[in-house]
Amino acid sequence: MAEEVKLFKTWSSPFGLRIVWALKLKGIQYESIDEDLTNKSPLLLQYNPVYKKIPVLLHNGQPIVESLIILEYIDETWKKNPLLPEDPHKRATARFLAKFGDDKVMSSIWAILTKEGKEQEEASVQAIENLKFLEEELKGKRFFGGEGIGFLDIALGWLANLVPVLEEILGYEVIDKAGFPFLSEWMLEFSSFPEIKENLPLHDKLVTKFRAYLAAAPDK
Amino acid sequence: MAEEVKLFKTWSSPFGLRIVWALKLKGIQYESIDEDLTNKSPLLLQYNPVYKKIPVLLHNGQPIVESLIILEYIDETWKKNPLLPEDPHKRATARFLAKFGDDKVMSSIWAILTKEGKEQEEASVQAIENLKFLEEELKGKRFFGGEGIGFLDIALGWLANLVPVLEEILGYEVIDKAGFPFLSEWMLEFSSFPEIKENLPLHDKLVTKFRAYLAAAPDK
């Protein structure tokens, strides 16, 4: 029986892109279903009744939700090109920093873009402090996963993808070469890795989307 | 070389208890370090510089933080009495519901205790809805992990431990036998399992602690 692999995503969501990248790196064929989040499909609501969010991976009829959990599922189901390292402590570090990326780094960087004045300054200080943890982890390595792209590279891939977009809108660099030599280099390396490069949303289209979002936001 | 296993925790934190239970179920000897959260030890701050929280597991000098990540580390390091199932989809479900327990169930139950009036009613409706997902998952099983206590039982153990405390303070049952026959039975089974029963904080001490907390809370 042929495997059924379907991915519910949007063209721009960094959480959906994680799954695209992981499936491409594993060489898994899948059907892509692009959702309109203003009018979610009945299938999305059926498969993710708790959070009602993309991404959802449907594998032979069984839904898996939450992007970091889907990444682990993919890594456990298709063993080729492992994403997580073997060593339990390295696995724990990758899981911790992926969660840290979502909980802390993403919100602090987002706040630079959406806040103003003193709040924006505080967000900037917080973002730099958070990014320093990632810079430290990357020191002396090509990727977080070592020589190849791993779980944490995919989980933090939104940095390589979205930070240049935010920087264009802000008019200055958040992850600059002087302050973050390893992260800066990683952003370039990650974005130019074939399976990633071929599956990145267009920069200009993202800039347009974010500018429109900010123009419509009530507090700007 | 003897293994060094140290656990930084408090006597009552449900996140610290997860690690106690997992180590006991695995039969791992460890040294327990009870933290005073009003005066955190320099070691705790050194080992968890990002979140500055317990629990921290120190294994042969290497710190691991975040309770669900520590549980995975323990399961991968000491293979005896596996906590997570083998099947990738069942693993994903256990991870998802553990996260759901922390993100949604815990906050909705906590809000019943700390809010008043309309907000309290809304929290109650939300908590019941969230608990229904867990009841559904448990249907026909003794434990979430099947015949034995697994990852999700440990992650949701705070329900068996803390809900009776909250119910005593509230004066009514949140997880009642009629509405939640499987969860009610599971709470009893879990709490009376030897490795759990021997490592539960005293009910009356918890009631006193929570009553004091609520009396001091600014919005009550």
pLDDT in tens, B117-126: 999 999 999 9
Whether residue B1 is predicted with pLDDT greater than 70 in this model: the reply is: no
**What local confidence, expressed as pLDDT, does residue B2 receive?**
74
Give every CB contact of residue A152 below 8 A, 6+ residues apart in sequence.
Answer: A94, A97, A98, A144, A145
- Are both A167 and A119 inside the same structural domain? yes
- Are both B130 and B69 inside the same structural domain? no
Tally of structural domains, chain A: 2
Domain, as residue range, for B151:
88-216
Q: How many other β-carbons are positioned within 10 Å of the β-carbon of residue B70?
A: 25
Q: How many helices (H) and strands (E) does chain B have?
A: 11, 4
**What local confidence, expressed as pLDDT, does residue B217 receive?**
77
> Which has the higher per-residue pLDDT, B1 or A212?
A212
Instruction: Average the pLDDT over B132-140 and give the result.
Output: 95
Residues of chain A in contact with residue B104, where contact means CB-CB under 8 angstroms, are: 50
- pLDDT grade for B218, boundaries at 50, 70 and 90: low
**What local confidence, expressed as pLDDT, does residue A219 receive?**
58
Partner residue facing A72 (CB), from B59, B77, B92: B92
- Are both A20 and A122 inside the same structural domain? no
**What local confidence, expressed as pLDDT, does residue B17 receive?**
98
Instruction: Average the pLDDT over A99-126 and give the result.
Output: 95
Q: State which of B45, B77, B109 marks the end of a domain.
A: B77
Question: Searching chain A, which residue's CA lies closest to the CA of residue B86?
Answer: A76
Chain B: closest CA distance from residue A102 (Å): 13
Chain A: closest CA distance from residue B205 (Å): 33
- Are both B183 and B109 inside the same structural domain? yes
**What local confidence, expressed as pLDDT, does residue B51 receive?**
94
Distance CA(B133)–CA(A13), nearest Å, equals 27
- Chain position carrying tokens 């959070």: A51
DSSP code string of A41-61: -HHHHHH-TTT--S-EEEETT
Chain A: closest CA distance from residue B31 (Å): 19
Whether A114 is in a domain gets the answer yes
Instruction: Average the pLDDT over A143-171 and give the result.
Output: 96
Residue B85 near residue B94, CB atoms below 8 Å: yes
- 3-state class (DSSP) for residue B198: coil
Whether A40 is in a domain gets the answer yes
pLDDT in tens, B62-105: 999 999 999 999 999 999 999 999 999 999 999 999 999 999 99
**What local confidence, expressed as pLDDT, does residue B38 receive?**
93
- Are both A143 and A172 inside the same structural domain? yes
- Are both B48 and B144 inside the same structural domain? no
Question: Searching chain B, which residue's CA lies closest to the CA of residue A91?
Answer: B73
**What local confidence, expressed as pLDDT, does residue B219 receive?**
58
Binary contact (B92, A99; C-beta < 8 A):
no
- Are both A107 and A17 inside the same structural domain? no
Question: Searching chain B, which residue's CA lies closest to the CA of residue A69?
Answer: B92
**What local confidence, expressed as pLDDT, does residue A175 receive?**
96
pLDDT in tens, A162-193: 999 999 999 999 999 999 999 999 999 999 99
- Residue A116 belongs to a domain with what CATH number? 1.20.1050.10
- Cis ω for the linkage preceding A55 (within 30 of 0): yes
Q: State which of A14, A46, A77 marks the end of a domain.
A: A77
Residues of B engaging A, defined by a Cβ cutoff of 8 Å: 50, 59, 62, 64-66, 69-70, 72-73, 76-77, 88-89, 91-92, 95-96, 99-100, 104, 133
- Residue A28 belongs to a domain with what CATH number? 3.40.30.10
Residue B45 near residue B54, CB atoms below 8 Å: no
Binary contact (A89, B65; C-beta < 8 A):
no
Instruction: Average the pLDDT over B6-21 and give the result.
Output: 97
Binary contact (B89, A73; C-beta < 8 A):
yes
**What local confidence, expressed as pLDDT, does residue B189 receive?**
97
- Are both B118 and B169 inside the same structural domain? yes
- Are both A60 and A108 inside the same structural domain? no
- Chain position carrying tokens 């939104």: A158
Whether B83 is in a domain gets the answer no
Binary contact (A66, B99; C-beta < 8 A):
yes
**Could you give the percent of chain A with pLDDT greater than 90?**
96
Distance CA(A86)–CA(B119), nearest Å, equals 46
Residues of chain A in contact with residue B69, where contact means CB-CB under 8 angstroms, are: 92, 95-96, 99
Whether A170 is in a domain gets the answer yes
Whether residue A203 is predicted with pLDDT greater than 80 in this model: the reply is: yes
Q: The complex's ipTM? A: 0.95
Whether B82 is in a domain gets the answer no
- Are both A121 and A190 inside the same structural domain? yes
Whether A83 is in a domain gets the answer no
Partner residue facing B69 (CB), from A70, A95, A133: A95
Binary contact (B77, A88; C-beta < 8 A):
yes
**What local confidence, expressed as pLDDT, does residue B117 receive?**
94
Structure tokens at A218: 């009530």
pLDDT in tens, B18-57: 999 999 999 999 999 999 999 999 999 999 999 999 999 9
Instruction: Count residue pairs from A and B with Cβ separation < 8 A.
Output: 54
Whether A156 is in a domain gets the answer yes
Which of B91, B107, B129, B137 to mutate: most A Cβ within 10 Å?
B91
**What local confidence, expressed as pLDDT, does residue A180 receive?**
97
Sheet with B5-9: list strands edge to edge.
Answer: B31-34, B5-9, B56-59, B62-65
Q: State which of A58, A77, A96 marks the end of a domain.
A: A77
- Are both B160 and B105 inside the same structural domain? yes
**What local confidence, expressed as pLDDT, does residue A2 receive?**
73
Instruction: Average the pLDDT over A73-84 and give the result.
Output: 97
Whether A82 is in a domain gets the answer no
- Are both A51 and A137 inside the same structural domain? no
**What local confidence, expressed as pLDDT, does residue B212 receive?**
94
**What local confidence, expressed as pLDDT, does residue A217 receive?**
77
Q: Which residues of B163-195 are buried (b: 16+ CB within 10 A; e: fewer)?
A: bbbbbeeeeeebbeeeebebbbebbeebeebeb
Structure tokens at B150: 């697994």
Chain A: closest CA distance from residue B208 (Å): 33
- pLDDT grade for A218, boundaries at 50, 70 and 90: low
